[in-house]
Amino acid sequence: MTESASSEPEARGGIRALYANHPTAFTVVVAIVVFVLLGVGAVFAGISVGSASSADDVTPDEVTAEKRSQPDVTPAGASVRTCSVENFASVATFPSLAGVITDVGTGEVLWNRAAETAASPAHIVTALTGAAALQALGPETRISTTVVDGSTPGSIVLVGGGDPTLATTNASFYRDAPQISSLASQAMSRYEDLHPGVPITNIVLDSTLWDASDAWDSNWPERERTGGYHASVTALMVNGDRADPTTAISPRGTDPVQSAGEAFAQAAGLPAVSFTKGAAVGSTVLAEVKSQTVSVLVEQMLLSADDSLAEALARLVSKKLNLDGSAASLAQAIPSALTDAGLAEASAITITDGSGLSPKNQIPPLFVSQFMAEGATGTGAIAAVFAMLPIGGVSGDLYDRFVGDAAVASGQVVAKSGWTSLEHSLGGVVTASDGTQLAFAFYAIGEGISRDARAALDNLTAGVYACGNNLSNY
């Protein structure tokens, strides 16, 4: 009864009774409820005011968002090249190495070590000389050696036209070379018709097509001549002035013009004749023989690395371009002919000879790679020269290279090699294992460089072959 009596009044009192019994708790709850209701009201009030403001003050133009430009094509992901040739490029065999490797198809430089720094490329220069000769002289041109009637009876003039291949034997190192015996036979027959009964007592030796005193560059070591690699550069000579006309490497003399005169006199049966040096003044041609075409001569030069042919062709390019045929004129003649052949960059190179023996030739590796890439893909003189270059492990002066570790690239490298006492070089195009054609030029330069650098260059090139388009610059 007591519990029922006390509960009934609380139920009747409701909120008032609750407050009476729990005043503090009731106050806190009421405060929280009021706070929540005020906050919600403020939010709705803000929305109402903001909507009204937007409706009253902002025009449709002002709320239009500017459209962002979008790329027309989504860029493709760039491949990361991962194949390195650094272990081949950094061998101790190279005192220093400059070089470049480019993609023939795109021109992209894939590997670069001082590629735009001019340096000596050694005998790679002969490829440039060959292209200049084909461009300026024409591939079908032949070089004449003539005999002209002298100014007085009893005298004839042997006139050199710049052909170093004039031969004393059918077994000449120069294939199908013109024979001095044929020249002598023609000359004697014609002379006797014009001067019956008058013996020949004097032969004038004419090598004035260019200055005969300008025959040896002071930058060329004398051992190149005595060792059999290089002759003096004269417009009249026989057998490339070799002591042994049947071999590529044979000691050369010091007076090619005199030697040519003596060879002619022997072939003509004139043992007691005297010689003088000068220029022909008559115009009656007694005899003439012609070299193989310039195209054939260029190929012979490139395959055998023949310095004498290279220098003769370079001087003839100078004469054809109305220069004086001097060594100094080559700095203008060769770049000019290469520019005409389509290499605008040729104006920036420095040429001092036709063979590349001089260290004063200064050509960046990048230019050589561009030349080779043009040869592999283009037309005209440069492409013609490229088609004549030796093939690694197969032909020319590269026939015995690309062996051992480098044999994997045998038959896949078209290139010109070079060497001096301070340098070994190689420039050309390799068709890589993945089919990519890569143009390259490598110059290994420095005191004490050894013949081992040749194999090291082959190994480097074989590394390029293996990497192909995956070649990294690191």
Residue 6 has pLDDT above 70, yes or no: no
Per-residue confidence (pLDDT) for residue 24, from 0 to 100: 41
Q: Hey, what are 360's tokens?
A: 């004063």
Residue 254 has pLDDT above 50, yes or no: yes
d(CA 339, CA 14): 112
Per-residue confidence (pLDDT) for residue 19, from 0 to 100: 40
Q: What is the DSSP string of 306-356?
A: -HHHHHHHHHHHHHHTTS---TTTHHHHHHHHHHHTT-GGGGG-B---SSS
Strands (E), 196-284: 202-206, 274-277
User: Which positions ≥6 away from 4 have C-beta within 8 Å?
Assistant: none
Mean pLDDT of 126-132: 98
Per-residue confidence (pLDDT) for residue 70, from 0 to 100: 54
Q: What is the DSSP string of 50-68?
A: HHHHHHHH--GGGGPPPPP
Residue 48 has pLDDT above 90, yes or no: no
Per-residue confidence (pLDDT) for residue 69, from 0 to 100: 55
pLDDT tens digits for range 186-243: 999 999 999 999 999 999 999 999 999 999 999 999 999 999 999 999 999 999 999 9
- Count CA atoms within 13 Å of residue 300 on its CB side: 22
Q: Hey, what are 364's tokens?
A: 């960046």
The amino acid at residue 274 is: S
Angle (nearest 5°) at CA 370 between 366 and 376: 145
Q: Could you tell me if 167 and 180 are in contact, meaning their C-beta atoms sit under 8 angstroms apart?
A: yes
Mean pLDDT of 271-293: 96
Per-residue confidence (pLDDT) for residue 80, from 0 to 100: 84
pLDDT tens digits for range 418-469: 999 999 999 999 999 999 999 999 999 999 899 999 999 999 999 999 999 9
- Count CA atoms within 13 Å of residue 88 on its CB side: 24
pLDDT tens digits for range 132-188: 999 999 999 999 999 999 999 999 999 999 999 999 999 999 999 999 999 999 999
Mean pLDDT of 310-332: 98
Q: Residue 322: left if φ>0, alpha if ψ -120 to 50, beta else—which one?
A: left
Residue 1 has pLDDT above 60, yes or no: no
d(CA 188, CA 286): 8
Reading across the β-sheet that carries 142-149, which strands appear in turn? 274-277, 202-206, 155-159, 142-149, 285-293
d(CA 38, CA 282): 126
d(CA 122, CA 109): 23
Reading across the β-sheet that carries 437-445, which strands appear in turn? 109-113, 97-103, 437-445, 423-431, 413-420
Q: Which is more confident, 170 or 20?
A: 170
Quote the distance between the C-alpha of residue 344 and its chain's center.
13
Q: Helix or strand or coil: residue 428?
A: strand
Mean pLDDT of the chain: 87
Per-residue confidence (pLDDT) for residue 266, from 0 to 100: 98
Per-residue confidence (pLDDT) for residue 71, from 0 to 100: 53
Q: Helix or strand or coil: residue 124?
A: helix
pTM of structure:
0.83
Per-residue confidence (pLDDT) for residue 448, from 0 to 100: 86
pLDDT tens digits for range 64-121: 445 545 555 555 555 689 999 999 999 999 999 999 999 999 999 999 999 999 999 9
Using 50, 70 and 90 to split pLDDT, how confident is the model at 282? confident
H or E segment and range at residue 425: strand 423-431
The domains located in the chain, with CATH, are: 86-136+299-470 (3.40.710.10), 141-293 (3.50.80.20)
Q: Helix or strand or coil: residue 99?
A: strand
